[in-house]
Amino acid sequence: MAAINLIKIKKSLSITRMALVLLLIAIAAIGTIPGYLGGQWSWVDLPKVTQIERLKNLRDNGLTLPGWKTIEQQQVLIGGNQWSYQKLEREGKNSVELWLMPQDYYKNHPQVEWTDLNGFERWQTDSHKTLNLTDRVSASFFRAWNRKTYAVVQWYAWAGGGNVSSLQWFLADQWAQLHRRRAAWVAASLKIQIDPLSSVESTEAFAQSLAQTVRTTLEKEIFHPS
């Protein structure tokens, strides 16, 4: 009987600890989401982003993807932020374009990157859907057109996760801060040219594979602990 009671007490303590952790996260979120949405941070001293130099180098030089050759790379100012633009090619494939906007200061957070980039492209879009890269990473996948037609994949990448929504990054960053860490982030957008009458489904497998390559390369080259 005493052993059974001890097990019950341990289970009760585990539930209590979990409830306290969730309560702390909720309190932090309630206190910081209004400031986040208004562009004002309420923390006095945020933990530093240890990968900040790698992120700046990514902005300056782009990302080297295995199996792909960069034939053009430059910085482009969009909406007040510097993006890395790359044109990539691989034998037997049409060239693709990779846009990356890395965090370059520890207090910077994702806000309107997709609005800025889509406005810069001046395209129209349709066929929006979610593209799952892993069980913890999902991206926006859609067709876009201006003078040409593209299949586009967009997401915010961070260590061990990713989502097109900046709120999901915010929650990941809050969790990291409980351990005095940060969730360094990169806005990533892939453009794959397709025939004007093609559906995005016709290139979905290729888009998913290429986005996965970008994701794993960021994990390996940028997000790994210093």
Distance CA 211, CA 67 (A): 13
Domains of the chain: 1-42 (no CATH), 46-223 (3.30.530)
Q: What pLDDT, in 10s, does the model give residues 143-153? A: 999 999 999 99
pTM over 0.85: no
Tokens of 112: 């309107």
Give pLDDT tens digits for 41-77. Answer: 444 568 899 999 999 999 999 999 999 999 999 999 9
DSSP conformation letters of 130-188: EEEEETTEEEEEEEEESSSEEEEEEEEEETTEEES-HHHHHHHHHHHHTTT----EEEE
Tens of pLDDT along 5-38? 444 444 454 565 555 446 555 545 554 555 555 5
- Residue in the block written with tokens 């052993």: 3
Residues in contact with 82: Cβ distance below 8 Å, sequence separation at least 6, in sequence order: 59, 75, 76, 101, 104
DSSP 67-123: T-EEEEEEEEEETTEEEEEEEEEETTEEEEEEEEEE--STT---SSHHHHHHHHHT-
